[in-house]
A = this chain, B = another copy of it.
Amino acid sequence: MSLRSPSEYRQSLRDGRKIHYRGARVEDVTIHPALRIAVDHAAIDYEMAEDPSTRDLATVSLPDGRRISRYYHIPGSAQDLRDRSTLIEKATARGGTLVVLIKEIGTDALFALHIVASQMDRLLGTGYLKRVESFCSRCRDQDLALAVAQTDVKGDRSLSPSEQDHPDYYVHKVRETSEGIVVRGAKIHTSVSVNANEIIVLPTRALQEKDRDYAVAFALPVATPGLTLIASPYGDSPKNAFEHPISSRHKMVETLTVFDDVFVPWERVFLNGEWQHAGVLAKAFVEFHRFTAVSYKLPLVDLLVGCGQLLSEINGIERAGHVREKMTWLVAYAETLRALTRMAAHECRVLDPGVAVPSVLLVNLAKWHFASNYHRAVSLVQDLSGGLLVTGPGEEDVQAPEVGDYIRKFLGGRKGVSAETRLKAMNLVRDLTASEFGGYQEVLAVHAEGSIEAEKLTIYREADVRRCRALAMQLAGINEEIK
C-alpha cells in the first residue's frame, strides 16, 4: 500500500490514543463534535490523491510504478520545490485557506533530519541517516499522517533547559536501556497531533554541553503509552455554516503534548546527546517549514484580495479612489509574497544527501513580509466590507417569517445584489477576520513557524552585508581596514 483512502485514514485514528478535551478523555476523534472537523479537514489530503483533477499534483510515481504522496518526494531541484509549494497552495485553498498540514510539516522535519543525520554521520561516524531513511520510507509507504512537536514549554525563557526550576520544562532523556531511550517533558503548540499517526519530536533551540540530555530527536506513534495530548478548545463555539462558512468546515487543533516517561526504541531515535547538532537540526527544520508556511499563506492572502474586491462591488464602491488605493495595497501584498516564495524555490541550494533547500534569505523575507503586514491587510478588508460585519442578523433571523422579510427588504446591497448574497459575503469576511478563526489566523501570522524577531535575525544574518559594505568603502575611498 502506498496511498490510503480517506476512510482508511479515519480508521487509523481509532487506535486508543490518549486525548483530553475540555477535561474529558476523547474516545474517538473521528466522531468527537469538535475534533471531527479537524479530521475531516485533514482528510482533504487523501481526497486530493484520489480526485482526478488533483491526482497528478498530489502524487508522484516511483521508478517501480507505485504512486506515492508528493509530500514524501524529497525535493532535489528548484522545480521539485516549486511543485511542492504549488501542492501546498492548492491543498490549502481546498481547505478554505487553512493548511492541511498532516504531511507538510512532517516531511519538513524529515528533510531536515536527512540533512543533519548525513552531517552527523560524516562528522561523528554515527549511523543516523539509515534510521531516518528507514522511518521515512515507512511513513511514505504507509501514507501516514505526521505531526511535529518542537516547541518546549520553556518555563523561564532567559534560562537554558538545565537551569530551569524543574528539569522537565524541556523534553529530555531520563535514561537509556538496551532497546532505546526513555523521555520526559512537554511540548506545546503541537498542530494536527490529535489526527496524525506519528509525532516527530525535535529540539527547539541550540544547546550547550550541560544540556546534553535535552539533545533528543525521535518519532513515536500517537498511541504510545505515556503520551498524553491535551487539546486546545480554542475556537470551539458552535458554528453554523451560514455564519461561519470557513470555520464550520475547517479546523486545526493544537495540543499540549506530555511525555511522561515514554519509551522510544533505537530505530526511532535520531539525535541522542549530540548537543552541538541540536540547534542545526532545529533551524534546518524551521527554515524548511517556513517555506511550507509561505506556500500555504498564498490562498489566505488571495482570499483577502478577493474579499476586498467582492465586498467593494457589493457595496457599490469599487470605483472610489480610496478603494482602489486599498485594493492595490492588498494586491501588492499578495503578489510580493508569491514572487518571493517562488524566488526562494528558484534560488535553492542542494545539500547532502541531495535535498534542495529553498533560499533561507528569501524564505524569511517572504515570511516577514507576510507576518508584519497581515493585520494591516485585515484592517483594509474590514474597512471595505462595512460595519455590518459585526451587526448583522443570525441564520435563524433570515429564516423567521416576519423578520426574514424585513431582512430581505432592507439588507440588499446595490441593485442586483440580494440580501442573502450580501450577508453570505459579510459572513465570509467576518469568519475570516472578526471571529475566533480570524483571531487564530492573526496569531498564527505572528507566531507560527517562528517569531517575527527570528525572521528578522535570519534576514540580517543571511544577507551579503559585507559586499554592500565593500562597495561603500570603495566609493568613500577608504583603504584603511576597520576592525
A 71-114 contacts with B by CB, 8 A:
93, 96-97
User: Is the CB–CB distance between A365 and B387 below 8 Å?
Assistant: no
Could you give 29 example pairs across A and B, Cβ below 8 Å? A20-B403, A23-B399, A153-B410, A153-B411, A157-B317, A166-B409, A168-B410, A188-B411, A189-B387, A232-B391, A234-B390, A254-B391, A303-B475, A306-B467, A306-B470, A306-B473, A309-B469, A313-B483, A324-B460, A328-B460, A336-B365, A339-B362, A340-B340, A375-B375, A379-B446, A386-B447, A425-B476, A428-B472, A433-B442
A226 beta carbon closer than 8 Å to chain B:
no
Q: Would you call A443 and B447 a contact (CB within 8 A)?
A: no
| Chain B residues in 8 Å Cβ range of A151 | 387
Given contacts A256-B406, A335-B463, A475-B245, contact A232 B434 (CB under 8 A): no
Chain B residues in 8 Å Cβ range of A483: 313, 416
Chain B residues contacting A9 (CB-CB under 8 Å) are: none
Residues of B within 8 A of A314 (CB): 482
Q: List B contacts of A334 (CB < 8 A).
A: 463, 468
Task: Please determine whether A228 and B375 come into contact, CB atoms closer than 8 angstroms.
Answer: no
Known A471-B299, A476-B427; contact A394-B327, beta-carbon cutoff 8 A = no
- Given A302-B468, A375-B376, A433-B442, 11 additional A-B pairs, CB 8 A: A23-B397, A93-B471, A188-B388, A230-B406, A256-B407, A302-B467, A309-B469, A328-B456, A335-B463, A343-B343, A434-B436
By secondary structure, the A interface counts as helix
Whole-angstrom CA separation of A197 from B367 in the bound complex: 47
- Cα-based distance from A321 to B306 in the complex (angstroms): 23
A429 to B375, CA, bound (A): 16
Chain A contact-residue range equals 35 or more
Return the contact of A369 from the options B165, B302, B336, B443 (Cβ within 8 A).
Answer: B336
Please measure, in the bound complex, the distance between the C-alpha atom of A189 and the C-alpha atom of B413, giving whole angstroms.
16
A460 cross-chain contacts in B, Cβ below 8 A: 324, 327-328, 331
Going nearest first, the 4 A-B pairs with the smallest beta carbon separation are A321-B321, A434-B439, A237-B237, A23-B396
Distance between A459 CB and nearest chain B CB, rounded to angstroms? 5
From A400, which residue of chain B is reached at the shortest CB distance? Answer: B23
Q: Is residue A448 contacting chain B, with contact meaning CB distance below 8 A?
A: yes
Q: A127-166 CB contact bits vs B (8 Å, 1 = yes)?
A: 0000000000000000000000001010111100000011
Q: Find chain B residues with CB under 8 A from A327 CB.
A: 460, 465
Q: Which residues of B contact A378 (CB under 8 A)?
A: 375, 442
**Chain B residues whose C-beta falls within 8 Å of the C-beta of A336 in the assembled complex:** 336, 340, 365, 369
A305 interfacial by beta-carbon distance below 8 Å: yes
Give chain B nearest CB distance to A32 CB in angstroms.
14
Which residues of the partner chain B approach A392 to less than 8 Å between Cβ atoms? Answer: 232, 234
Q: In chain A between 317 and 375, which residues have their CB closer than 8 angstroms to a CB of chain B?
A: 317, 320-322, 324-325, 327-328, 331-332, 334-336, 339-340, 342-343, 346, 361-362, 365, 368-369, 374-375
A288-B411 Cα distance, complex, nearest whole Å: 28
The answer to whether B232 touches A390 (Cβ under 8 A) is: yes
Q: Chain B residues with Cβ under 8 A from A465's Cβ?
A: 305-306, 309, 327, 331
